[in-house]
Amino acid sequence: MTEHWTEQMKNQVNTLEELTKYINVSDGEREAIETLKTKWGTSPYFASLMDKNDPNCPIRRQVIPSLEEQTNTYGMDNYLVWKENRATEEIRPDSIARQYHDRIAFTVVQVCGIYCRHCFRKELVVDQDLQLNFDVEEGLAWIAEHPEIRDVLITGGDPLLLSDEKLAYLIGRLREMPHIQMIRIGSRLPIVLPQRVTEGLKKAIGGYHRVPVWINTQCNHPKEITEKTAQAIYELMSCGINVGNQAVLLKGINDDVDTFRELHQKLLRTRIRPYYVFYCEPAPGIDHFRTPVEKGAELIRDGLRGHTTGLAQPMYVLATKIGKIPLMPDYYITDKNQKEYTVRNYKGETTTIPNVPE
Ligand SMILES: *Cc1c(COP(=O)(O)O)cnc(C)c1O
Ligand code: SF4
């Protein structure tokens, strides 16, 4: 197997023939690959984590197209235009998605290390029906002219697929802007292509500076984490980059208590701090990955809060066009009045604490 990340990208597993070197392809998978017009593929490294014989393997389900993608009963058409407020009055470059006053998402690239079947940006990244113009210079100029922006979230596609030189340039330009206080990079590569974390990358985006860089990755199942992941995360941290996780709640992949708890414990063991769990968004063609909205809160109630380390607790959120809406469990307060609150813990035990009137 090829070790350098650019070799991994050149050798993407994205044909039936390549895939058969890793797994026994099922009839359904074969038919979906042959008939659906969709982009799919994975790094050879991530493909090597697939279960050879189980089509329900969480890695296979995230990577290999499924005939179920043709069904769209609950998804919203033109989802991304709605979600990213692209049809609103504020004039912004295509690369800038805005839901908040002080921070924006800046899309810099349209390619990924794997093409997640559940991607909420599927129309743009996977099916490529939506054509946008991602001009980095135009985006930088817009950010420079907006002093209220203090936090830039660089996203894609997968921004860490840019070369070290381009990343160093991008981070350097943002760091020169006096109003920018922090930079975040959303990237699945620490999980799907840990080989990307090289000395060159560390130089390009790490190091001590007034403006820190944070990475949020996406890991949805404990099987996605290996020794290589742990080493890559350690390397990122060694140059000052904190790594968080944004999981997506996926039916049949991580929506049971045991898997959900193991995922969050294993992330912490790998030095990745769980940040968000997202409700799987109503993008078209991903109905089969979606659970009822309450599910994420139930998993936190039954599997995480109180049941394991506090640092392992993500915030469960619904991402919408008006921002992220927290949907945490609501069993904690059983009664309240002027004098006291009655609160409940994870075991169902209650206690009271005195309230302070205003
Ligand atoms: C998710 C998102 C952010 C960042 O939200 P946080 O809650 O600060 O992590 C900012 N802008 C857009 C458009 C987003 O989708
Ligand atoms: S890596 Fe992110 S942007 Fe790319 S396909 Fe997966 S979820 Fe979508």
Q: What is the three-state SS of 86-127?
A: CCCCCCCCCCEEECCCCEEEEECCCCCCCCCCCCCCHHHHCC
What pLDDT score was predicted for residue 125?
A: 82
- Average pLDDT in the 298-323 region? 96
Percent of the chain with pLDDT over 90: 89
Instruction: Report DSSP letters for 251-281, one per residue.
Output: TTTT-SHHHHHHHHHHHHHTTPEEEEEEPPP
- Averaged pLDDT of the chain: 95
Q: Which of 80, 84, 99, 321 to mutate to test the pocket of ligand 1 (most atoms within 8 A of CB)?
A: 99
Ligand nearest to the CA of 41: 2
Q: Both 29 and 131 in a single domain? A: yes
Percent of the chain with pLDDT over 70: 99
What pLDDT score was predicted for residue 83?
A: 84
Which atom of ligand 1 approaches the CA of 104 most closely?
A: 11
Q: Both 347 and 258 in a single domain? A: no
- Average pLDDT in the 232-247 region? 98
| Residue with CA nearest ligand 2 atom 7 | 119
Q: Phi, psi (5° rounding) for residue 86?
A: -80, -15
Q: Both 174 and 33 in a single domain? A: yes
Ligand nearest to the CA of 118: 2
Residue 131 has pLDDT above 90, yes or no: no
Q: Both 18 and 114 in a single domain? A: yes
Which atom of ligand 1 approaches the CA of 276 most closely?
A: 9
| Residue with CA nearest ligand 2 atom 6 | 116
CA of 278 to the centre of ligand 1 (A): 12
CA of 99 to the centre of ligand 1 (A): 7
CA-based nearest residue to 153, from 239, 63, 309, 276: 276
- Ligand 1, residues at Cβ distance < 6 Å: 97-100, 103-105, 153, 324
Ligand nearest to the CA of 325: 1
CA of 126 to the centre of ligand 2 (A): 8
Q: Both 274 and 343 in a single domain? A: no
Q: Which of 273, 324, 325, 327 to mutate to test the pocket of ligand 1 (most atoms within 8 A of CB)?
A: 324
Q: Both 322 and 339 in a single domain? A: no
CB contact at 8 A, 274 and 247: yes
Q: Both 252 and 350 in a single domain? A: no
Residue 1 has pLDDT above 80, yes or no: no
Q: Both 262 and 356 in a single domain? A: no
CATH assignment of the domain containing 94: 3.20.20.70
Q: Both 207 and 342 in a single domain? A: no
Q: How far is CA 123 from CA 76, 126, 132, 159, in A?
A: 11, 6, 11, 18
Q: Both 133 and 220 in a single domain? A: yes
pLDDT band per the 50, 70, 90 thresholds, residue 124: confident
Q: Which domain holds residue 200?
A: 5-327
- Average pLDDT in the 22-39 region? 97
Residue 87 has pLDDT above 80, yes or no: no
Residue 264 has pLDDT above 70, yes or no: yes
Q: Both 99 and 118 in a single domain? A: yes
Q: Both 194 and 341 in a single domain? A: no
Q: Which of 153, 181, 182, 184 to mutate to test the pocket of ligand 1 (most atoms within 8 A of CB)?
A: 153
- Average pLDDT in the 87-109 region? 91
Question: Who contacts 311 (Cβ-Cβ below 8 Å, separation ≥6)?
Answer: 268, 273, 274
- Ligand 2, residues at Cβ distance < 6 Å: 112, 115-116, 119, 121, 125-126, 156-158, 188
Q: Which of 115, 154, 192, 215 to mutate to test the pocket of ligand 2 (most atoms within 8 A of CB)?
A: 115
Residue 167 has pLDDT above 90, yes or no: yes
Number of domains in the chain: 2
| Least confident residue range of 20-29, 90-99, 111-120, 186-195 | 90-99
Which atom of ligand 1 approaches the CA of 275 most closely?
A: 9
Ligand nearest to the CA of 320: 1
Ligand nearest to the CA of 156: 2
User: Which three-class secondary structure state does DSSP give residue 304?
Assistant: helix
CA of 197 to the centre of ligand 1 (A): 24
What pLDDT score was predicted for residue 47?
A: 98
307, two tokens: 């049941």
What pLDDT score was predicted for residue 222?
A: 98
